[in-house]
Structure 1
Amino acid sequence: MIRNGIVVAATLCASLAAAPLSAGATAAPADGWQRTGSGILGGVSGIALVEGAPTGRGLADAVVVRDNKGDGENRVATVRLRPGRAPVVRELPWLGMLPADLEALDAVPGRPGHYVAVASRGNAYHVVVADGRATAEQEPAALPGRRDGDNYESFALHRDRSGRTFAVWATRGSGDEKAVVRAASVRIGAHGPEFGAVSARQEFSVPYPDEDEVRHISDLKVLDDGTVMVSAASDPNVDDGPFSSAVYDAGRLTVNGAHDAVLRLKPERALSPLSRFTKQDNRKIEAIAFLPGRLGLWGTDDENFGGSVRFERVGR
């Protein structure tokens, strides 16, 4: 297995570039959404950008996870996005312990080709994407503070100026039950993700969506400056929807003098959506990533309608 990060990134980018463009590639539709999967097995439940790949408006290489549970159903795919072209999606075989219900994904900072994927019950997998496959390097590690009955849909990795890496994750919440956000230091070593003690814990809820089963955090990412971005989604638990979603600037992650993570999240009354999709839009955002300049890339798991992605700038 290739372990040099630069070689891994080059291999993945070459694989994406070599993939044939979809038949009938066309410009993005007027609403900006581009289909990346069909049917209930084709959703996007987590997304991470490929480190070192070119980015821009309409331009990105990404890795996505899907919340499929059955044997033989895809777990990981690469997505190549280019302006004026249809997405090129390549489903990857999974090597190693087969997970069920992957809900979140982020890239390991400074290690191209390496990712951490998290399943809904709070198991974190160290995954290497290279040579046209996704390989789980070790058995999964449990998120600190995980309890029976918890449901997780978000996970992010952030490296601060000291070079330390921190993980931030949250239960999704449901209706009156708020999401619970936690943060801890993490090391991705020979034995997989090795989490430190939880140093920050805070409850969080959103003002919108405000109907059906509201998932207060359906995904979460931390920008380079420590800004915590979250998506929220509403699901009537009917596979045809209608769904609604929003994206928020939720607050900040900082690091104190003891080198512990500190969360300063906004109360619900102080939140205003940066991006909002109503039931008429029928989009359930379950994955977010950010390119430079606060250019967001949203991914949806729209159940029977498959999965789609959309670029949107949310910068100040």
Structure 2
Amino acid sequence: MALKVNVGEKIKKYIIVIVLFALVAFFSILTPSFLTVDNLLTIARQVSMTGIAAVGMMFVLLIGGIDLSIGSQVAFVNILCAFLIINAGVPVVPAILICLAVSTATGLLMGTMVAVIRIPAFIATLSFMNILKGAALSISSGLPIYGFPEGFNMVGQGYIGIVPIPVIIMVVVFIAGAFILNKSYLGRYFYAVGGNEEAARLSGINVRMVIQLVFSLSAFFAAVSGLVTLSRLNSGSPQTGDGFEFDVITAVVLGGVSISGGSGTMLGTVVGVLIMGVLSNGLIMLNTSEYMQLIIKGIVLALAVGIDCVQRNRVKVKPSAKEAE
């Protein structure tokens, strides 16, 4: 019996990895060109922006919050950076630093609304989703901005060897996220606040500071993703980032991060991002319509959240050893 329990726990722990390999095998059978080096690198490049933002979203979900503004953060950073470089004549590096600072500041403001004023994260980030989108449309008058200096697209379109630069940036962000979660006291604070906010406060953790930091990090990583996207497209558009928050949240939840907070791993998030990339790429190669892709992704999110809720409910009703006796 003990052996069966251990096997069951291992299967549960690595179920998302099994799902990833199953999807790869499925699409490889249906489309022989799927499992090629070029296509796998294409998938990695396509998911790089989602992966970068997913690290910040994971932190937010770990503390029991949510950030609906990241798509608008991407659009706002796209337009602000493009405006500074093209219209205001600001050099590229200062423009990038200004965008990162402004985006991080908006994250801090959202975190303050949640931590100090006690506005629900859903409402605080929903309001900024509209504020940032409106700001992007106002700055650009609803039109794309282009005409960047030579070499600006190197970050988004360039390669080091055969590896796309966006993929390298994503890997660096993943490593930084893993370090924060597993090797720093901040990671322990994230899990503690998400597991039981009141208990974390009583144990001496500055809960307000943790919440403000997490939303600032989410906005910062969304800005990095937006800048990489801007370089890749070589054009700033207020429409960039539409629906982006859905893909990011789906990837993180699919990776096993609980929507209730307090549990999840960086490895799971990485695998969740890859699953979304494989699914999107495979559906495109099968000539699946965009509308059907939206339906499938919606089903995937519903299933991921449903599984998380079922597991949470089982933990709540599971009797203690003493009660079982």
- Scaled by the length of structure 2, what TM-score is found? 0.22
Higher relative contact order (CA 8 A, sep 6+): 2
More helix by share: 2
- Scaled by the length of structure 1, what TM-score is found? 0.22
More strand by share: 1
**Which is greater in Rg?**
2
